[in-house]
Amino acid sequence: MTATLRGERVTLRPLEDSDRRRVVEILGEPEVARWFGTGSAEESADEFISDPEVTGFAIEADGMLVGVIGYHEEDTPDYRHAGMDLFLATESQNQGLGREALTLLARHLFEERGHHRLVIDPAASNARAIRAYEAVGFKPVGVMRLYERGPDGTFHDGLLMDLLPDELR
């Protein structure tokens, strides 16, 4: 059973099937959809809600589902680490909610799941996400050229970032 994580302004609780409609709604917002590849909002929602390799959490603020954060784990002992991803509804961006959600989940992954390193890979042009990740302590590792296909069908660069336990702010 996945734990519920509580911060000052956000709560991370396990995603449920009943969250699907709201998650699809958020993923359909133009400012969110532009960063989520060529798959449909429904496919992306399913990845966070029902993919057995992804552990997804609803990000709640003031009792409302305002976004999603999730992780996947690499369990090979010599490479064990976790990768993270998140998105917030447009009206919930630029309020520090994403930074708080990232901090809560990172602390959980380091302290409870025993990871020594976390990674995240925003689009290299997603300045808002990169600023939020840097505020938590993530460091740029390098640009992954033509890393993923965007909604317009063209490939764009991604920025690989990582975080070690003593770098978490």
CATH of the domain at 41: 3.40.630.30
The structural domain count of the chain equals 1
The confidence score (pLDDT) of residue 158 equals 97
**pLDDT of 81-140, one tens digit each?**
999 999 999 999 999 999 999 999 999 999 999 999 999 999 999 999 999 999 999 999
Q: Degrees (nearest 5) of the Cα angle 118, 25, 86?
A: 5
Whether the predicted pLDDT of 21 surpasses 80: yes
Range of the domain at 48: 5-167
Q: If we measure between CA atoms, which residue out of 152, 156, 164, 154 comes closest to residue 30? A: 152
Task: Give the number of residues written for the chain.
Answer: 169
DSSP 102-139: HHHHHHHHHHTS--S-EEE--BTT-HHHHHHHHHHT-E
52 CB-side CA count, 13 A: 0
HSE at residue 165, side-chain half, CA atoms within 13 A, is 11
Which pLDDT value is given to residue 100? 97
Reduced to 3 states (helix: H, G, I; strand: E, B; else coil), residue 58 is: strand
Beta bridge partners of 139: 162
State the pTM of this model.
0.94
